[in-house]
A and B are shown apart, each in its own frame.
Chain A
Amino acid sequence: MSMFRIFDVSGSAVSAQTQRLNVVASNLANADTVAGPDGQVYKNRQVVFQTLLMGEATSAGVQVSNVVEDQTPGRRVHNPAHPAADGQGYVTYANVNPVEEMVNMISASRSYQNNVEVMNTAKSLLLKTLQMGQS
């Protein structure tokens, strides 16, 4: 039954969106992280989605091909009293933009919901198909 493939397709999408949500969570958690003594600070991360072909023309899932780090320099704030301040009194924060991440989070959760809805519909259709000829 070809409808079973929908669970593979939507399942892969749900799993990819979960990874995206995970990355958003770690970005938001590290939004106020400051650079350590070595000058290294948390870098904003983004997942990259890729189409996952499933052998048939009509089914294409999603996978996370890799996670990229944003290499732009972090936000620098002048605060000489901060314990992590460098020689000139600047503190480097992670280059996370919380507004962007919140938008990313909403988008990920909407896509997640869409795919769950697709799976629920496919499930109810399959259950009705199983009762074919009985009613």
Chain B
Amino acid sequence: MQRLTQTLDFQSQALMLRAERQRLIASNIANADTPGYQAREMDFANALRTATGRHSELAATGSAAAGAPLQTTHPAHDSARSGFEQETGLLYARHSQDAVDRNTVDLDRERASFADNTVKYEATLRFINGSVRTVLDAMKSHTQG
């Protein structure tokens, strides 16, 4: 059963993170004229790795609470995991041009990121639809179309 939904689980995590990033970029665009606002960006690859890595760890260990330790590349990673849901690897964007009001939103970059994220959100949706169709086709009998 797990193998049947494994791909779907991964894609749904990716979709959630895409939605989160979309919201983040929308916030940046909304605050393009706010003095002192610091633009933020999501480290998507890292966030997805965290989201799916923790998920598979939970599924794999089952009742054994002290199962395989999470692979970390830095000693501070494990301790920083608490409260990670809210602060999923948010970074502060480096400003390309100094503004007088200390606002660091680069509207061109944000719009490009927004378009990029929109396309990738739709791609993830299509992947999910494809997985669903695959599962549904597999459940059909050979007499059905």
What is A's interface to B at a CB cutoff of 8 Å?
1-3, 5-6, 9-10, 12-13, 17, 20, 48-51, 56-62, 107, 111, 114-115, 118, 121-122, 125, 128-129, 132-135
Contact = CB atoms under 8 A, between A and B. Distances in A.
A10 B26 contact: yes
Main secondary structure of the interface of B (DSSP, over half): helix
Contacts of A132: 125, 128-129, 132
Interface in B3-37: 15-16, 19-27, 29-35, 37
A5 B19 CA distance: 10
B29 A118 contact: yes
**What class of interface size applies to chain B in its complex with A?**
35 or more
Given A9-B30, A51-B31, A3 B23 contact: yes
22 contacts: A6-B22, A6-B26, A13-B29, A20-B33, A48-B35, A51-B31, A51-B34, A56-B23, A58-B20, A58-B24, A58-B90, A59-B23, A60-B27, A111-B32, A115-B29, A115-B30, A118-B29, A125-B121, A128-B125, A132-B128, A132-B129, A132-B132
B88 to A, nearest CB: 8
A122 B30 contact: no
Contacts of A135: 129
B26 A118 contact: yes
B23 A6 contact: yes
A57 B89 CA distance: 10
B49 interface: no
Given A115-B30, A121-B114, A5 B35 contact: no
Contacts of B40: 58
B19 A1 contact: yes
A107 B24 CA distance: 22
